[in-house]
Amino acid sequence: MNIKTFFEALFFLISVVFAGGAVPVFAASDIANSSNWAGYAATGGNFTTVAGTWTVPAVNNAARGSADTVWVGIGGVKTDDLIQAGTQATTDSSGRTTYVAWYEMLPQSVTAVPISVGAGDSVTVSLVRQPGSQWLISFKDNTTGTAYQNTFTYGSTLSSAEWVVEAPSSRQGVISLDNFGAVQFGNCYAVKDGNTLTISQLGAGSITMLNGNKLALAVPSSLVGGGSGFSVSRTSAVSTPNSRSSARLAYGNRGRGNSRRFFGDFYWFSR
C-alpha cells in the first residue's frame, strides 16, 4: 500500500468510527440480539487466543455513509476492555467504497493496518496473548500473500471471545449497515483455559443484529465445518437509525460504558 492510499484508507477509517452501541446480552437460550453485532461470542473462562478466516464482503449499491466491519476480538461482552482486529468497508458521500484493515484496543483509538485488502480477499486474523500482557496481532491476506504482525501491551480481562460482523457508529449512534450480502467465516477457534477449541466446543452463543424496529438486519447461520465456521447474512430489512440511549435501553446496560474521545470532527465512543 503506498503512502497516499494508506492515508486515504485511514481517513475513511476514522470517518466512520468503530464504536459499538449495545453490548450483546445473552438470553437463557444463549441467543442474543444486538443493535450492532451479529455472529458468535463465547464466555465463561480465560481466553488467550482468538482467530478466524473470512472473505471480505463485496459491497454492492451501498447507501452513502454506510459501512460494515468484520472482526475477531477478546473481551467486551460483559466488560469495558476489548482488543479486536479486522476489516471494514466504508462508502463515502460520493458513493465510493473503501476497504481497510484495522485493529483497536479500547479505550485507545482505532489504527489502520498498512496492508491492502479488497473485496473478495480471504483474510486470516488472530490475537494471541504473550507473556507479560503482550498481544501479538497478526493479519494475512491469503489472496495476495501480504501480511502484517506486531506486538502490543494491553491489559485484558480475557473474559470472552468473539467473531462478529458489526455496524459501526458515529457520534449520533449506530449508522446504516451496508448491503454486504454474506460473510463466510471459517477456521474459527479460541484458546480457553489453555485448550484450543472451536466455536462449537466453546459453547458460544449466536448474536442477531436488529434494527431500530426490532427487525433482523444480519443473521448468523448454524455452525458448519466441524463447528469452526458459519456465515452472517444481510437481510432486506432497512438499517434504521438507532440512538446511543435507545440501544442501551433495548439491549441492556451492563458492560461497556459510553465515554467519548474527541479527534478533529469525529467522536469515538468507548464500547
Specify whether the CB–CB gap between 15 and 92 falls below 8 A. Answer: yes
| Residue 13 pLDDT | 55
| Residue 42 pLDDT | 97
**pLDDT over threshold 80, residue 249:** no
**pLDDT over threshold 70, residue 210:** yes
Q: In the structure grid, which three cell numbers stand for residue 159, read together?
A: 473474559
In this prediction, residue 241 has a pLDDT band, given cuts at 50, 70 and 90, of low
**Rounded to whole angstroms, how far apart are CA atoms 81 and 90?**
25
Between β-strands 160-166 and 37-43, what pairing exists: parallel, antiparallel or unpaired?
antiparallel
Across the range 79-100, mean pLDDT stands at 94
**Domains plus CATH for the chain?**
3-257 (2.60.120.700)
**pLDDT over threshold 60, residue 197:** yes
| Residue 61 pLDDT | 76
Computed over every residue of the chain, the mean pLDDT equals 82
Across the range 46-75, mean pLDDT stands at 93
Across the range 84-105, mean pLDDT stands at 94
| Residue 9 pLDDT | 53
**pLDDT over threshold 70, residue 24:** no
**pLDDT over threshold 70, residue 30:** no
Measured CA angle at 47 (ends 44, 50), to 5 deg = 125
Q: How many CA atoms lie within 13 A of 173 on its CB side?
A: 14
| Residue 5 pLDDT | 52
**Rounded to whole angstroms, how far apart are CA atoms 206 and 29?**
10
| Residue 255 pLDDT | 28
| Residue 242 pLDDT | 55
Higher model confidence: residue 217 or residue 258?
A: 217
Specify whether the CB–CB gap between 212 and 260 falls below 8 A. Answer: no
Which of 245, 82, 269, 97 has its CA nearest to residue 178? 97
